[in-house]
Structures are given as C-alpha cells and as structure tokens.
Structure 1
Amino acid sequence: MTTDTAPSVPSSTGSDFSRLARRVKDAGLLDRRPGYYVVRLGLLAVCYLGGLAGFIALGDSWWQLLVAVFFAVMFGQVALVSHDIAHRQVFRTRRWSEIGGFVAGNLGVGMSYGWWMDKHTRHHANPNHEELDPDVAPDILVWSDDQARASRGLPSFIGRWQAFLFFPLLTLEGLNLHVSSVRALWNPVVKRRGLEAVLLFTHFAGYLGALFVVLSPGKAVLFLVVHQALWGVYMGSIFAPNHKGMPTLTGDERPDFLRRQVLTSRNVRGNWFVDNALGGLNYQIEHHLFPSMPSPHLRRAQPIVRDYCAELGVPYAETGLFDSYAQALRHLHEVGAPLRERH
C-alpha cells in the first residue's frame, strides 16, 4: 500500500523500471477506472445489505450458518476493496480515500484502516525483507532457516510442523485482525485514533448485538465461529500465494526497485473467477510494481511486464493457484527443519 505522499510511479527506481513504467503508462494502464469501481462498490453494497436483510428475515434458524459462510466471503471482498482504496485506485484524493477506507475497513469488517495501511506500506517498500517487512516477522510462523534457528517460545514450538498447521491457524486470522486493530488504537503511528475507535466499536457492537438479539446464544456463538474462521481462511488464502516461498532478503540486501518487487513476488494464473476471488492480487508482480494501478488493468499489464522481465533476464514467477499453495507449504516445511532437528 502506498503512503499518503508516495507518487503513483516511484521517481528514483532506476532506468530499468523507468522504461517499463513508460510502456505501461503509454498503454493507458495507469488511468483511473471510476465506472468499474462504481459498479463494484455498488454490487458489493447491495450484496452486503442484502445479506443483512436475509439474516434478519431468517431469524433464529440453523440456515443462518449459510449466511455466516456468505458473510465470510463478503468480509473478504470488503477487505479487498479497502485495499484498493488505500492504494488510491478508487479515489484521487487522500481525504476521500481515508473516508472510504474507514467505512469499508473499520465499520464494514472491524479492521483498523490506519493500522493495516501502515503495516502494508512497510510490506510494499521492502517485500520479504526479514527485518523490514512485517508480513515475514517470526511472530508465530518462521519464514527462513535463520529465523527458525533463532526462534524461541511459540514460533519454535509451532515452526516444527507449521506447514501442516498453516491452514488451521488461518481460522484464527479474522480474530487476529480484530485484536491487532484494537491494539493499534494505542499506537501513535495510527492517525485519527479516536475516529477509528468509534467506528471499530460501532462495528463490534452492531455485529455482536445482531447475533445475540436475532439468534439463540448457542446459534449466535456458532455463527460467530463459522463466520470468523472462514473469513480468516479466505483472507489467508488470498495473500498466502503472493510471497510465501519466494526469496527473502536480509540486512543490506536491497536490489533496485524493479528486481526487489519482481523477485520476491509470485503471480497466480487464473480466469475471471480467480481474478475476482483474489481481488486481482493474483497479479502480484504487477501490483507491487504499480500499486495505484486499478485492479482490472493488472491482467492487461501482465504481458507487458512479463515480456520486459524476459528482455532483462529477470526471473518472473507464475504458477497455478493450488501449486502456489503447495510451494508455500513446502517452503514452510523446509525452513522448519532446524526446529525438528533441535527436538
């Protein structure tokens, strides 16, 4: 995710990236797509509100578990829209981007827009850098041999069999996003913490209030577990193929901008369903090179970027969806080897 002051195309990224940026810009792929986002946001709002209406109409019924599955998908799609908004793909100005991000992130799914934007900005600046990318910090899982050897406590315990535990652990990702969002309210890095707190707790109160007013306590708890677990798996399944199992960087390792983004990212081949389910993030290489590019343009940018990387001799990783998960899991198992040997 870009910071508020970052330009759409980095200005000091070397001649290789500059030539690619000119080709992409000349193809019109950095132009905004307001019509696309009007339709996408409109359809998402209709589906979200329709789901709420269906939830109320069904009342205290076991059929509500299907509604829980539906809202797991809705929360994932709303989070993807919040991601696009934060990258300035939707609105031109910072003010409207913040408003949209607060509504979609904080109010829509109970995830702090400011916290996630700060975290994702640092990821984009240094993808897969073990000291600088928060997405590969060894909080629970370990992502490299060095992290495995240095790990203690919970990462050391889980890391031994983390490949087998990865998807089960994703069932807790929704809860983790909520908890991290609340904890971020005490972090001075997050701006407008008062507004974020009001919107977050409005979401939590409305969500839990609706569950326990409409459903019996047992059904309400089961709805919450199914919904949050599936949302976590969905979110993890969107982001796991993108960088997991790709090369990691350490210390002063900082290739030029183009290589830093391409070499640490993996694309996932797909059709219209994969494109929509993953929110265009299956074109991760193109997204990292041009974060403000509207998501429907990523598919069109891919052949330009892929051919240019071939000209430069820069490896361009692309695979199928299930193979991307297999590669990530194999990597997790391999880097956990020092922990298995230790025990």
Structure 2
Amino acid sequence: MEFEEKPEGSGSLVGENQLDLGEKHQANGKPGASGKAKLSARQEAYAKCDLPRKSLNRYTWQEIQRHNQKTDQWLVINRKVYDVTGWADRHPGGRQVLMHYAGEDATDVFRAMHPDPDIVRLYLKPLLIGELAPEEPNQERNKNSRLVEDFQELRRTLETLNMFNANLGFFFLHLAQILILEALAWVIVWHFGSGWLITIFISFLLTVAQAQGSFLQHDMGHLSIFKKSKWNRLMHKFVMGHLKGLSSKWWNNWHFQHHVKTNIYPKDPDIDIRPLFVIGDLQAVEYGKNRIKFFDYEKQHLIFCLVSPFVTPVYFNLGSILEMCPRRHWEDIAWAISFYIRYFITFGPFYGIFGTMVLIYLVKILESPWIAYVTQMSHISMKISKEENRDWFSSQVLATCNVEHSFFNDWFTGHVNFQIEHHLFPTMPRHNFHKVAPLVKSLCAKHGLPYVKKPMLKAFGDILRALKKYGALWKEAYCTHPEI
C-alpha cells in the first residue's frame, strides 16, 4: 500500500554541530564542486518543500524493528521511515550513534541532539523510504505514549520561552575567564621567576583554566551559539584543540554515544571501561560468573581514587591520539599541536622543553580528578541496564541525577550539576538549566518518575559507594561460580 507524502513542516532533526555544511558531499551523495553548499541551509530546506509529492511505502513497527543491523539500519522520525545504512559512515556524530537507534523510533533523540530545525531536509530527504502505517502508534507499543506526548509538549513550551537561545555574553565571559587565568599564570612566572612555590601556584591557575575549558568545550560541542555553523565549528575546534589539546572528532564520537544511550550497557562508552572497572550490576555479575579477574574488583573503589588523576593525561589523550592519527584527521592534529606550541612559547623560556612538558602534564593530572568526579557523580550510582528501548524522557531521568544548585556548585561543575536537564535537552545553554528544572521535576511527579537531587559531597561519595557495591556483587558471583 502507498500514500501521498505531504510537505513537512519545520520539525527537524539534523543540526549544525553534528552536520558540517562544508562536508565534501552534497545531499545526493556526490562530491560538490567546491566542497561547500551553494545555498544556505534554510534556503535549501525551504526549497525542498516545493518538490513534487511522491509515493512512499507504509511499514509496521514489526517490519522496522528487523532493520537493526550494522549493514541494515532504519530509523523512524516523526512517523517517517529512513534508511540510514549508507549515510552512517558520513554521520559527523559517528556511525555508532545511528546504530544504537537502528530499528527504533528516534524522534526525541534526534530532536534533542540537533539544534537547527531546518537543516535536516538536506540530509534526511534522500534517505526517506516510507512512513508508519496509519494504524501504527507514533512510538513502539511498549512505550508510554502519554509520557512521550507530555515531554514533547514540554519541549515546545521551552522553545516558545526561548530556553534554547544562547546568551553570547555568558559564554564570552566564560572564555575570558580562561584566557585571563592563563595570562595571569604567565605574568606571575615572568615577574617572580620559576621557583617551586610559583610553579605550584601557576599550576593551580592553569588547572582551573583547563577544567573550565573542559566545560566550555562541552558547550561548544552541543550548542548552536553562533548563527553560522562554521563559527560554531571553529569555536569547538579552538576550545577543544587549542585550549585542551584534544580531538573534537574523538569527543563527538565518544560523547554523543553516552548521550543517546546513557547508562545502557554496552552502548554507553562511559560505563564500558572494562577491564579496569566493572560498573553496574550486569557487568559485575557477568565478570564474576565468568571468573574474570584482572585484579580484585572488590577494591575498585580504592583503585578509582588512585587512577582518577590519570583519566585526562592518559585515557583522554590516548583516545584522542588513536582517533586523530590512524584516521588522519589533519585539522584536529593541527589544533592539538597548537596547544603544545602555545605552552612552549609561553613557558618554555622559563622551564625549558622538558620542564614545560612536566608542567603540562602536572596540570592535566591536577585537573583529572576534578573532571572525573564531576562527570561521574551523576551517573555511576544511577540505573545501569541493558537495552530496554525506553522512551527518551524515562531513559534520561532514570540514568541521571542532579547536584544542588548554588553559585559555587554551578561554577565548579560547569552547570552539569543539572545533569537531568542537560541530558533531556543537550542543546540547551547551561545558563537556562535552573529555569527549566521545576518544569522537568513537575513532569516527573506527574508520571511517577524519580527526580533525584543530592548535595555535592554526597554525590561524590556515591561514586565510591556504587563502585564498592559493584565490586561486592562481582566477588559474590566469583565465589559462587567456582572454576570447573
């Protein structure tokens, strides 16, 4: 059976942070003459609305759910069915993000992850193959349709209230804070010399700058702060590469998987860091039953304290290098090199080459526990499960928690103490999280979902308590399944 496709409205799903209009492919998959789109995204999108109607096939959820393999990926967005198999390798957010939603309704996650509501037609139009049959519900039958509708209504309300509009001045001041701290560190060492006390003090200043840079690059990766996508992309490269020395492509591929399948094992790379840790009941019991013992996981909460200083200088740097170099991401490599050049120019005259490298990694080691605790405090102690195909709202609320709102907490965590709101609305600027939190909490209460908020120290302690609990589960499974 077939039906006539009607022109779509302005609802969209592909945004400028994830889709670079400078991609050297046009929407039809052919290389562009100059590698740039000739028309603006909105001009192209609106022009597509005037194309002639064409017939599309109808599909049931049962049919769609069969197309969930690496070589056969279908998605449903606003009741439209898209075959994204051939597009996956060119998806700027990484092919795994699409694979994680193959055979599922992706309406809310696509809307959540892409800030621009018009650019989608350039990319989705050629992938359109059909629509849900009229008798099929908007989402899979196991989902709470009422909750999904309420959440979508909440998002429309927040859009009307301009909660997704970024305050450029807020982010300019944040960037200024980082640059001032780095400049101050240079002035101090230039004026007072490079003694031990001075080195410790400037290391502290540079650590604060690096940590705040981590929060700013997190914003740049999610938000559409500038009106032109090329400026958003450039700022993300600048902050991630020049200020942090890391690859933006690596961050996109890794971090977006965490967002789309938060605390879903093994799809979320944040909770699949075996063999170093077993996180969640499933991993712990699985390792125990299979008698896997790289070390005594019963002590992993203590190991976390020992290795947290090395997350940034080892785990992040290694992941970034393995993304950039083998795949020849020359632009990211150039930006990362500029980070080291800046440090050598600034501090090399005082510390020499070796001393400057020591300073760089001392700062990374000091920053690392800060970032490790802030990023893990809202997830490790929350629900961790295998794929349950929950609706977007439930999956994010159950997998995240908030830390109490205060001026210091907001600054110290880069506003990711509002993890519930951030995960529900990743493209919302962080200065608006506290404004929308009461509405999110109200929707949780309406549908009987927990809205968890903690003091910061309790949230930090819950990281260790959760790791200790998972270690105990591993030990129990390990001892009750003796080796045969």
Provide TM-score, normalisation by structure 2: 0.64
Q: How does 1:178-197 map to 2 (within 5 A)?
A: 178-186=317-325, 188=327, 193-197=329-333
Larger radius of gyration: 2
Asked if structure 1 preserves the Cα contact closer than 8 Å seen for 2:258 and 2:270, the reply is: yes
Alpha-carbon separation, structure 1, partners of 2:334 and 2:366: 26
Pair 104,137 (structure 1): closer, same or farther in 2 beyond 3 Å = same
Alpha-carbon separation, structure 1, partners of 2:390 and 2:429: 26
Asked if structure 2 preserves the Cα contact closer than 8 Å seen for 1:286 and 1:302, the reply is: yes
Deviation readout 1:274-323 (Å, 9 max, x if unpaired): 10111110000001111111111001111111112111211111111011
Pair 104,288 (structure 1): closer, same or farther in 2 beyond 3 Å = same
Alignment partner of 1:299 out of 422, 430, 434: 434
Pair 21,221 (structure 1): closer, same or farther in 2 beyond 3 Å = closer
What is aligned with 1:171?
309
Structure having the larger proportion of residues in helix? 1
Asked if structure 1 preserves the Cα contact closer than 8 Å seen for 2:179 and 2:209, the reply is: no
Does residue 244 of structure 1 match 2:258? no
Does residue 82 of structure 1 match 2:82? no
Pair 154,60 (structure 1): closer, same or farther in 2 beyond 3 Å = farther
What is aligned with 1:60?
194
Structure having the larger proportion of residues in strand? 2
RMSD: 2.7
1:158 to partner: Cα distance: 5.5
Asked if structure 1 preserves the Cα contact closer than 8 Å seen for 2:165 and 2:428, the reply is: yes
What is aligned with 2:351?
215
1:115 maps to a residue whose letter is W
Moved more, 68-77 or 141-150: 141-150
Moved more, 229-238 or 215-224: 215-224
Alpha-carbon separation, structure 1, partners of 2:293 and 2:463: 17
Asked if structure 2 preserves the Cα contact closer than 8 Å seen for 1:78 and 1:104, the reply is: yes
Deviation readout 1:93-129 (Å, 9 max, x if unpaired): 4321221111111111112111012111111100001
Identify unmatched segments of 5+ residues in structure 2. 1-14, 20-109, 118-137, 140-147, 480-484
Alpha-carbon separation, structure 1, partners of 2:194 and 2:180: 23
Deviation readout 1:135-192 (Å, 9 max, x if unpaired): 111332111233124448997416321112212211001212122211111454xxx7
Aligned residues: 338
What is aligned with 1:50?
184
Asked if structure 2 preserves the Cα contact closer than 8 Å seen for 1:242 and 1:284, the reply is: yes
Identify unmatched segments of 5+ residues in structure 1. none
Does residue 33 of structure 1 match 2:160? no
Q: How does 1:118-197 map to 2 (within 5 A)?
A: 118-139=253-274, 140-151=276-287, 156-157=294-295, 159-175=297-313, 176-186=315-325, 188=327, 193-197=329-333
Q: Which has the higher contact order (CA 8 A, sep 6+)?
A: 1
Asked if structure 2 preserves the Cα contact closer than 8 Å seen for 1:101 and 1:113, the reply is: yes
1:45 to partner: Cα distance: 2.2
